[in-house]
Amino acid sequence: MKLKEALDLPFVSLATKLDVNGSTLTLEREIVGGVQVVEVATPAVISCAKGMAEQRIPNMRGIMAARTKPLIVVDPIGVEELTSYISYTMPNAKSAVRMINPENMDELVELLHNEAKVI
């Protein structure tokens, strides 16, 4: 089952540009011979073409203008805890590593038979 079918929402594939205006999305997608503009109401499922969300590097003028704008700090809202834990314990410490000479195969076989633990 596809995601759009499971959610029962409108679907637009291979969008190359996305503009949001309230609860309406305006999408552009490339088709054979041109560009198709599609408007869809939210919520919707959208697949994007490669490169749509590439990072944009701001120019120096924009950086300097941002320095003078006020910074508004918004307090977080309280949310209901969805999970809880009952207990937590640290795992047992692992034993030290034992180095074995690669030429001494008999010692390795003996250790594997007698001391190795199968998990």
Tens of pLDDT, residues 67-111: 899 989 999 888 888 888 888 888 888 777 888 888 888 988 888
Residue of higher predicted confidence among 65 and 95: 65
Closest CA to 40 of 53, 22, 27: 27
**Residue partners of 112: CB distance under 8 A and separation at least 6:** none
Q: Where are the domains of the chain?
A: 3-53
Question: What distance in Å separates the CA atoms of residue 27 and residue 30, rounded to the nearest whole number?
Answer: 10
pLDDT given for residue 20 in this prediction: 92
**Predicted model pTM:** 0.44
Question: What distance in Å separates the CA atoms of residue 39 and residue 23, rounded to the nearest whole number?
Answer: 10
Mean pLDDT, residues 31-39 taken together = 91
Mean pLDDT, residues 39-52 taken together = 87
CB atoms within 10 A of CB 15: 20
pLDDT given for residue 80 in this prediction: 84
β-pair partners for 26: 19, 39
